[in-house]
Structure 1
């Protein structure tokens, strides 16, 4: 690990200003991803700004009937909150399927959104990786790419985003609140980013992973009012625990009688961001969710899917996982 300096921020605006002042600075909270990357010489910030004492660890009701989740709320606390379990059970299930209990006790809401890919070649500094070293190439293209993307990839990068929580947040159309330093040392700038716009696809710049500016601190994630309906999260992985998704499906299905009136489908393990296809969701609305409707949804979702050799199996795996998840969603809760 390389030498770095450290400070504790006193407020969100203070933290943003501290990162703006010092080139190469980064925020640190739980550190469950950043510290590992520092030890492996993948991340090497010159300065760390500790944001743990900023009071961003509360879950609060919003006037619109939703929830405002502080950036520092630990994953275990979020999954256990009774309001989440009752109104957003999909989110609780997604959180509990991720990592280990020890990591969930430390990992934060913002950190979960911002975690970096688990691509083998990103972690191996002896191999080229455009995400780690722009312009060096992508070893995964011709290498062992079993865990890699089948949607939204480019010829520069086929890595996937690994968060389970972010998939559930995408299904709920969450918004990410941030604060950043402005041109004046005495003020700061606040904004909300729809989660659909938060994570970026690789394109020609796979090292640019989110819509955040370098000095922009995530302060909260806001969920709209609960959707109700049947909510399921199914994660397919190589082992039963402490493994990232090969394919995951987050499904929210609202019905009147036997007819689907609203559907939300989000997917993990497929792309550099949680994946949604609103056209596929609309194909389910107005149907009884039977086999023909489920097949049509999968056909739309997979129309542009492309395997890269070792991960070709993800295409039929996603089709089967989606089918069984939707079939279960059509049963009585």
Structure 2
């Protein structure tokens, strides 16, 4: 089915007619992600397309980012938005951690309605622009507030555009997450991290046969070992500062021990048993803009409840213990400057904080 945890376009039966059972695992087959997204972009020099599609200009206050805390792809956009200081320019809608086969819902908001868009389901924004939209109703999504229509769900491009197209609204001291002189290397690293790690854990978890699982497992751990070695002598993935590459890897690492190790059977080792990757993940987690976006309770509820194919009981595990995320990491000895010539972001915007008891604590 399309985009893993965000694939919600097709009802799969069940007692309420909207169960996700059968939506994720196809018997005898390997998991293949649908990477066809709405490719519209919000740009500085936007102009209407030749096919009559609208242009989407950068404009503060016009767009709402809909990004569930549970989703790793959405989590990237929340981190980049915060690091760059785009909170005033792009508002944030936060669906709850669970959904059925129809759509993500705004069940955490008063009355179950997004206070800006006035909708109960993200599906409504997709259908308003594309009636009967046939693909996954996915997060993250940028929605045009005046029209209520979805603009794009192309998450890989979304964060790059935050860095390159929204510069007018970056905060003073915003880091260079996609610096021109490193883009080729960042793109190369991102490609391997996406295919082998970000998506690799899903190929393990949603494998429909032993053979598909074994192949996915081997590919995942080959690249995890490559990352462990790469991070033995450098603090960050590319260059000596935080870049887009670190954001993309981090959201998978944050979910590894709580979800992927057990739920997705990625269990050769825990992240906490890989010294360099674990130190690197803690370094980022303790950096403003990263760990303060991670809601472990919502993450576990999403995966263990929504994925009926691989956890039909819906039981959410109590563990793992999370205090280790706050332990000293010692990565400063490798040098590097997290924000380069910039500065850390300030406090989390009111109303966007992780709920008490949902983050890492001792």
Query: Above 0.5 in TM-score?
Result: no
- Structure having the larger proportion of residues in helix: 2
**Higher RCO (CA-CA < 8 Å; seq separation 6+):** 2
- Structure having the larger proportion of residues in strand: 1
